[in-house]
Amino acid sequence: MSSAIGTLASLNANQADGPLFLDKITMVGDAAYPTGGTLSFEAALRALRGDNRTVLRVAGFAGTIGYSVRYTPPVYNNDGTATTPPTVATHDKLQVFFEDQTSGVVAEVGNGTNLSALTFTLEVTSN
């Protein structure tokens, strides 16, 4: 039987990722969505949970059909040391996309779009 999946390769064969946290949370959309996404989702999750976890992935959708999210983690200039924390080159962001249910085209929501009437359900994996 043939498979549509190509060859798989492990990227973390002997790497410990735990402990892992799986959170299901809700988020109200931005009143004026910024192009490129809302910054500092990780800081908001840390404030909500009262800890210093690192977001690994986010999956989510709005109650309204067609809206989904994509999380991009922060990028650091260096790994840091015991006395100097890593320097953030670009902050993490949470982007919102819309698929119009007819054309199949998925595009980022436009700058300034009011999403405050939408409640997103997010599944967040962090450690």
Q: Where are the domains of the chain?
A: 21-126
d(C-alpha 119, C-alpha 67), whole Å: 10
Which of 112, 109, 110 has its CA nearest to residue 120?
A: 109
pLDDT tens-digit readout, 35-94: 999 999 999 999 999 999 999 999 999 977 899 999 999 887 777 676 777 777 788 999
